[in-house]
Amino acid sequence: MACAMSKLFENKVALVVGASSGIGRATALALASEGAKVVVAARREGEGQAVVDQIKAGGGEAAFEKVDVSVPEEIEALVSRTVALYGRLDCALNNAGLPGDYAPLADVDDALVDRMLSINVKGVYLCMKHEIRQMLKQGSGSIVNTSSYVGLVGVATGAMYAATKHAVIGMTKGAALAYAKQGIRINTVCPTIIGDTDMVSGVLESHPHLMEPLIAQIPMGRVGRSAEVANAITWLLSDAASLMTGHALAVDGGHVAQ
């Protein structure tokens, strides 16, 4: 009689921050399908709870936690509640992010820059800080941060958004080096334009003229799907990527290979 194959995240606990839609949602579902107990964290309670309900309907285990990543106390409490609920924290995706306004730098709104820095940079820093503290207690853990293809290249419109995504890669590399000998792996994914995310759909709704030139930049000739990025994230978080740390993985249809 054949034995059932074990799942990649069997008996593991995952935290997905920014999990109410898009890449975060797809990753939460993928982790659950591979056996993880998943804490779905997001600002939007209705959408986040819907992800939890979908996981449970598929036989998985999950819980929702409402969080604002720019508030230090909320991130610290989120990690504490995750451990109180499931006993540990094995892997985490830090995916919450705010888009830019796609204007040349001299025309960018100062208040928007402050919000982007608070969420895209400080939010990732706070999440890593408290996730790492828990993982150090355990002696192991894996973290993936969501950057962007614009974290690897320059863009004429959206320089400050790109700056926040470059910062994510810098934080990832520095933290990966700091904790490489302590059992913690930290990587980042750099997706191209992903069509089924709120961020992209919102930008294209207000700037519809951008779609055709954006697609023209991608050698594969199409936008990506959240599930495709989630596949890369789950691999990086898993033991299958045990020698991977400090890496910025482009999931981009060849976008930055040009």
Kindly list the domain boundaries of the chain, sorted by start residue: 13-251
Find, among 22, 23, 68, 60, the residue nearest to 41 by Cα. 68
The pLDDT tens digits along the chain (258 residues) read 445 567 899 999 999 999 999 999 999 999 999 999 999 999 999 999 999 999 999 999 999 999 999 999 999 999 999 999 999 999 999 998 988 877 899 999 999 999 999 999 999 999 999 999 999 999 999 999 999 999 999 989 899 999 999 999 999 999 999 999 999 999 999 999 887 877 666 666 666 777 788 888 899 998 899 999 999 999 999 999 999 999 999 999 999 999
161 is catalytic: yes
pLDDT for 202: 64
| CATH among 3.30.300.30, 3.30.70.940, 3.40.50.720, 3.65.10.10 for 13-251 | 3.40.50.720
Report how far residue 165's alpha carbon sits from residue 148's, in angstroms, rounded to the nearest whole number. Answer: 6
Candidate list 86, 125, 161, 179, residue with the active-site label: 161
221 three-class SS: coil
Report how far residue 96's alpha carbon sits from residue 79's, in angstroms, rounded to the nearest whole number. Answer: 15
Find, among 17, 197, 196, 169, the residue nearest to 95 by Cα. 17
- Residue 39, phi-psi category: left (phi > 0), alpha (psi -120 to 50), beta (remainder): beta
208 CB neighbour count, 10 Å cutoff: 9
Phi and psi dihedrals of 237, rounded to 5?
Answer: -75, -25
pLDDT for 1: 42
